[in-house]
Amino acid sequence: MARIFAYIVHKAGVADDSAAELVAAAKKIDAAQAPTAVVAGWGAELDSVCESLRASYGEVWKIANESLAYPNAELVRQALVNVLPAGCIVLLPHAHFATDLAPGLSIKMNAAYVPDVLGVDAVEGAVLKLVRQEFGGQISAHVRCDISSGAVITIRPGAFKPLEGAPAGGVVVDKSSAVGPLTTGRRYLETVVAETGDVDITKYSVLVSIGRGIQDPDNVSIAQDLADAMGAALSCSRPVVDAKWMEKSRQVGSSGQTVKPKVYLACGISGSFQHLAGIKGSPFMVAINKNPKAPIFRVADVGIVADILEFLPELTNQIREK
């Protein structure tokens, strides 16, 4: 089996939660191997990330370079191509940074690419049998991946549970000298922080959340009425913001807000993993959707198959009467 590397995403000196999940994914591919962490960055923050990873990785490859102080995927890719051995397997968390980095990395390493993997079903010689989802999670797929010249694989956040075990007692290996000159036609300028909207949905313990099923901007008031009757805030999933029916500040999901309510009413939301990633703290989740196969029913506590446009006004009336 080829050597397995886990690319560690980090911020302000702290490794992302995915660092522990990638160990679990690596062990599914090759239980006999201690995976190696690879961390790119600069300065004291990089050092503290490397230090923290010694508990879970046998080896931590440190790539220190001033031009990697901010993780510009184009530069990180060049660094990885220069540092990593040919034919290896690279795991990354499937999130916005991997979307930027991983497809091109696979090309430059002449490696197979499998994005957004949820499971490892089998390893048969140089073939991995992996599990993915398609059509927004409506259907699962088995994918065969030829790893004879290496692979780049991105792992669905939350799909692999971190392993419990004794500290790995890893060593930090400085690979900075192998990076070579880094140049790119894409230069980082700044990060623009999201504007806060009129309502801060992260502050509410009850959320009524609407998705594509609301169908028309004129119908948003139906859900607002329900939220008002419940003393809840109104939030939404991505398609509602894409259609400009609600402000971005109301969007729950990995590219929007992370919320931690006690009760979450998902109305006409199919339940993509990007949306669910924004809901923390295991709220009591009610899903109302007219498609009985909507993925949201797999994760909700209570499900109702109904057209929200008919159901919500009636629910609002009943709550007002009580």
CB nearer to another protein: pick between 60 and 269? 269
What's the min distance (Å) between Cβ of 143 and another protein? 5
HSE of 13, CA atoms in CB hemisphere, 13 A: 6
Smallest gap, in angstroms, from Cβ of residue 166 to another protein? Answer: 30
The nearest distance, CB 128 to another protein, in angstroms, is 10
Least Å distance between CB 102 and another protein? 7
Cα distances from 270 to residues 21, 127, 138, 214, 227, in angstroms, run: 25, 33, 9, 12, 20
User: Which residue lies nearer to another protein by CB, 22 or 95?
Assistant: 95
Contact 109, 25 (CB under 8 A): no
- The DSSP symbol for 52 reads H
* Exposure string over 141-164, b if 16+ CB within 10 A, otherwise e: eeeebebeebbbbbbbbebbeeee
Radius of gyration of the chain (CA): 22
Which residue lies nearer to another protein by CB, 93 or 170? 93
- How far is residue 139's CA from residue 132's CA, in Å, rounded to a whole number? 9
Identity of the residue, 170 or 295, whose beta carbon is nearer to another protein in the bound complex: 295
**Shorter beta-carbon distance to another protein: residue 170 or 283:** 283
